[in-house]
A and B are shown apart, each in its own frame.
Chain A
């Protein structure tokens, strides 16, 4: 640690005003503050919100994502082996396969996103904004495993430029950047983002795993739980080889789905980390689940003959698809959610409601979490405005 600090101090003059490499000042600054907590303090007034700077906050979120990521890697391997009829082989082999399948997506997402961020920061001569640390990890976790790398690159570039940089960079974006990436993919390349062909990796990588092009087991289905219910005639969900699954299996998460979204347990470990470090707010998180549960319960009570999504049990509604992942990692994004406490309750509750309503009412979108969060992102500022004004009026009345 000491040696690293000394090295940085030694090369620092090169990057300062007038130094040889002063053009790359912001790149150096970005790496320095990433490695060490900056020691600069404000000279005038008191406007410190928290002692940790935003790189630390981002690092906590990335740490919280690791359980979901590791489980997602294992699940990618598990699904491939299972579909080939080899469900009982060593877990290490499955994980290694999943690791190799997921790693390129992470690399592409970080390379493209950070590349654009560094370029823009350099060009505008600003400090490097570190918001992409989290988005870059979220993007690989919310796409199907069969999504080609180049479209992830295109979508990431689109989202970083049009959802973030044109609004002014980290902290100014209206919409969650990772979700804009997913929305772009979903509408631009629907065949690679939905249906029953994209959720299970079908190739063998470096001799690991199995090529599934023509040797899947009988009864193979690659559809996600929500996809099956939306197109099926019962609320029974089966796994990739046609075995019926229970609520417990859905919570463990060895099912086809986007890479990071399947396991409720892994996501909950992340949720505990986020809440314990105070990065995410429990109000938003809880109210998303309450909103989703209430709405699902309501649809259960009404029931439907033709649309089985209405009859899916509320607990299963919360356990399948991206509901948990969205509630824990996306809805709680401090930039795109309201800042007032009352606002957080309303914001979260409506995300839950809208997500389940989209699932139930629109057969074209079996999963509604992405659109629900994006829609509510739009209203976050309005919700804040209403509560701030109410507070101001209350206090004004007290003065009179």
Chain B
């Protein structure tokens, strides 16, 4: 049981896919201008990763080694398509905001990494937990970056104005750079900086 707990918790902290392994940066920069798309994106990746992990884990002993990447891609592509269609049907505006990035989950390094490194060698339950853990680890970073960007870039969270009008009247202005991807990279860099400063075992000698 403690093994499962560890499988779930390490991706949230010491082995975070974004902040420590530096995977999935592209989408982390692209969808984090607002909090809502970031959360949807994080949840989509979590669901797809968890299900793909389970499917590949069940199939792992029957997949011929030479075509395993193709099989993994087929599984991920199927799940991505389902999630994308569901989003279009039930959350159309968010799916427009996410544009191609839902489809591009298929190329997200976190997915291929977990399928190759974990699901191919572990049972379905472990794989499920690992998928959820890594998906949430990705989602947490997305939410932190998106919250900072939306708060300072647009003055709101979830589209609701947080920064009071009296501040704007006193001369405060939203930082336009926060809404551009370069600033997401700077914020992400700061998170990585913080993680590494706090955990000396992450620093290379």
- Interface residues in chain A, defined as those with a beta carbon under 8 Å from any beta carbon in chain B: 148, 150-151, 154, 162, 184, 187-192
Contacts and interface: CB of A to CB of B under 8 A. Distances in A.
A151 B171 CA distance: 10
Contacts of B177: 184, 187-188
Nearest to B178: A188
A190 B173 CA distance: 11
B186 interface: yes
B176 A189 contact: yes
B176 A188 contact: yes
Given A150-B171, A187-B180, 9 more contacts: A148-B171, A148-B173, A150-B172, A151-B173, A162-B186, A184-B177, A187-B176, A191-B173, A192-B173
A150 B186 CA distance: 21
A244 B45 CA distance: 61
Interface of B: 171-173, 175-178, 180, 186
B185 to A, nearest CB: 11
Contacts of B180: 187
* B177, B178, B186 pick with most chain A CB within 10 angstroms: B177
A143 to B, nearest CB: 15
Nearest to B175: A188
21 contacts: A148-B171, A148-B173, A150-B171, A150-B172, A151-B173, A154-B175, A162-B186, A184-B177, A187-B176, A187-B177, A187-B180, A188-B175, A188-B176, A188-B177, A188-B178, A189-B173, A189-B175, A189-B176, A190-B176, A191-B173, A192-B173
Closest 5 CB pairs of A and B: A188-B177, A188-B175, A187-B177, A188-B176, A189-B173
Nearest to B180: A187
A91 to B, nearest CB: 31
A94 B105 CA distance: 61
Nearest to B190: A162
Nearest to A148: B171
Contacts of A189: 173, 175-176
* A150, A162, A188, A191 pick with most chain B CB within 10 angstroms: A188
A244 to B, nearest CB: 35
A148 B171 CA distance: 8
A10 to B, nearest CB: 40
A175 to B, nearest CB: 13
Contacts of B178: 188
Contacts of A162: 186
B117 to A, nearest CB: 31
